[in-house]
Structure 1
Amino acid sequence: MSTTKYFVHPQALLESTQVGEGSRIWAFSHVLPGARIGAEANICDHVFIENDVVVGNRVTVKCGVQLWDGVTLEDDVFIGPNVTFSNDPAPRSKHKPEAPLRTLVRAGASIGSNATIRPGITIGPGALVMDGAVVTRDVPSNAIVTGNPAHITGYRDTPHLALAGSLSSDAALPQLQARGAALHKLPKIVDLRGALSFGEIGAHLPFTPQRFFMVYDVPTKEVRGEHAHKACHQFLVCVKGSVGIVVDDGERRDELLLDSAQLGLHIPPMVWGIQYQFSSDAVLLVLASDCYAADDYIRNYDEFLAAVRGAGNGH
């Protein structure tokens, strides 16, 4: 009586002994001896897995995928049909690199069919790579990327706030889910000479600015921000054009479009901020509560999450 706690199709070739309970290896797949596969993984037909590969728990690898040395798939990753990985940036016949570049697909990320992942790339937790995308650089957490080269088009599980009409009426601006972040309606005065918008400390600005900077001439596909501050408050106004903003408190996220000089966004400390989808004429004004200090920035999302959880535990 077999004591094997995982399934191997009779026409699969499994050479590894490091396979977790409940995993399934389907027909015509070949797993080399050094590979490690977690529990409840699903390795579909015609998949090849090399030696220096780690496949986490509950991972799905669909048909026609090759996982070469240096690839790690964390828990709950989905790899669609015919996704292509590589581990050598400049391959030549009979010239094997001393060590493969490491490619990491973080927990909960999904990669759609026929996507190509260049070597040495990290796909962030929860990210989504759309079908056929060519990923040439790291993908941030929860980002949705598409195209060749792949660029960010949105963020998963992030409500997009509809602000149309709220500035031209007496209706209150919508509340944000991200802890402490808030929208502010700024006055607008129009006469024959043009339009004027302003903000006053206390009435509109929730802090006294010590610094300002402007962001402009940003290529449409570029992403800025991607950090949180430990102590600094920021107030963002897009004085011309438009820019997409994501605010994230580690548990909840919001996405909105800043496209009016009447609309201000307050981002408090310990809220992750992202700016992307800049229009070609966008000018973003940022008022800050403190002068620049490099050690006030948290630029790594994992470190941000750890800091948020630590603060929540009273540490």
Structure 2
Amino acid sequence: MTQTNPAPEGVQVHPMALLETPHVGAGSRVWAFCHVLPGARIGRDANLCDHVFIENDVVLGDRVTVKCGVQLWDGVRIEDDVFIGPNVTFSNDPFPRSKQRPERFVETRVRAGASIGSGATIRPGVTIGAGALVSDGAVVTRDVPPNAIVAGNPAYITGYANTPEVTLPGPGLAVSQAGAAVPELQARGARLHRLPKIVDLRGALSFGEIGAHLPFTPERFFMVYDVPSREVRGEHAHRACHQFLVCVKGSLGIVVDDGERRDQVTLDSPQLGLHIPPMVWGIQYQFSPDAVLLVLASDRYEAGDYIRNYDEFLAEVRGGAKA
């Protein structure tokens, strides 16, 4: 195999590679038996390992690693600092036919800093969010949220990257014990609250009072229940509305994210409340089959108060920090 054109300046190309595109950034390395077609665009400091094939309408950002046995087809967009493990499979046509080329291939995007483990399969048209991790062998059929860790077939969320799980003083009765403190959270403004518990022969009662436990006066409440355990709820922030969450039955996981720091909390007792202030991204997942989540809100429903896109959330958070 011989190089048809001189290698771009500053690019290392193995003698047994075929690099047809001139659009390769300095510091990139193209190893043996790679074939890169003329229209592809490769960023700086990329590492294309043995037996990688890249079609024309493919864009790779800077510092991307593509391990052995990967094919990147037309429509694939890989942003900066992405890792693609060996034998990951991409596709770009949800209904392929021999010798029938669609007018436009479906675009599949892997956002900055994401990683895809070996042998994973990525269906056409999905977006893998920034910082996400696709585990080895996963079959990704839907978009993966930013920072999510997914596994299985079909892939489902098992956790969130760089998100420490807050250690609570034990489930159930332990949170009501005298002197049992709840830990502080890293996410700006988010806070756990220990709620009282009263027990007698008639049963147990837990309550909260405005001012003493609730940091705002509720204008609305809603409940979430009958959620399939693998499904994710929430995934949004509010511009003005405060929320107070109590799991009155069962358990679920909550991620709070201020754009810089994240925490994961397990709510598994009606004696524990979580205050999520405005401009903190919240995610609800890992519901137990019997979970019932009560949410108290400081404001009535207003569609314009919701931020449902994580990139938009980050832009508003950073814009507010600069103001």
Using the size of structure 1 for normalisation, the TM-score is: 0.98
% same residue: 78
| Alpha-carbon distance in 2 for matches of 1:278, 1:308 | 28
Counterpart CA distance in 2 for 1:216 and 1:97 is 43
Matched residue SS, 1:167: helix
Matches of 1:24 and 1:78 in 2, distance apart? 15
In 2, the alpha carbon distance for the partners of 1:43 and 1:72 equals 15
Alpha-carbon offset, residue 192 of structure 1? 1.1
1:98 Cα deviation from its structure 2 partner: 1.2
In the alignment, is residue 281 of structure 1 matched against residue 290 of structure 2? yes
Taking the aligned partners of 1:223 and 1:280, their CA distance within structure 2 comes to 13
Q: CA deviation at 1:164?
A: 3.6
2:51 equivalent among 37, 46, 68: 46
Unaligned runs of 5+ in 1: none
Out of 14, 23, 34, the position equivalent to 2:19 is 14
Post-superposition, which runs of at least 4 consecutive aligned residues in structure 1 deviate over 3 A? none
Count of aligned pairs between the two proteins: 314
Letter of the 2:129 partner, please give it.
G
> CA–CA distance in 2 between the matches of 1:141 and 1:79?
16
1:95 — aligned with what?
100
Shift of 1:2: 8.3
TM-score normalised by structure 2 residue count: 0.96
2:124 pairs with 1:119: yes
Conserved in 1, the CA contact under 8 Å of 2:169 and 2:180?
Answer: no
CA contact (8 A) 2:8 2:22 kept: no
CA separation of 1:25/1:209 partners in 2, compared to 1, >3 Å: closer, same or farther? same
Partner of 1:84: 89
Corresponding residue for residue 242 of structure 1: 251
Quote how far apart the aligned CAs of 1:3 are.
Answer: 7.3
The SS at the match of 2:175 is coil
Q: Tell me how large the CA RMSD over aligned residues is.
A: 1.1
Q: Which residue of 2 aligns with 1:188?
A: 197
Residues 248-303 of structure 1: CA distance to partner in whole angstroms, max 9, x if unpaired? 00000000100000000000000000000000000000000000000000000000
Correspondence for 1:295 among 269, 286, 304: 304
For 1:79 and 1:97, the matched residues in 2 are separated by: 26
Distance (Å, rounded) in 1 between the aligned partners of 2:69 and 2:8:
29
Matched, 1:271 2:276: no
| Shift of residue 97, structure 1, vs aligned partner | 1.3
Report the 3-state secondary structure (helix = DSSP H, G, I; strand = E; otherwise coil) of the residue aligned with 1:160. Answer: coil
Kindly report which structure 2 residues correspond to 1:301-312, keeping only aligned pairs within 5 A, or say none.
301-312=310-321
> Which amino acid in the other structure matches residue 235 of structure 1?
F
Alignment of 1:146-157 (within 5 A): 146-157=151-162
SS of equivalent residue, structure 1 residue 189: strand
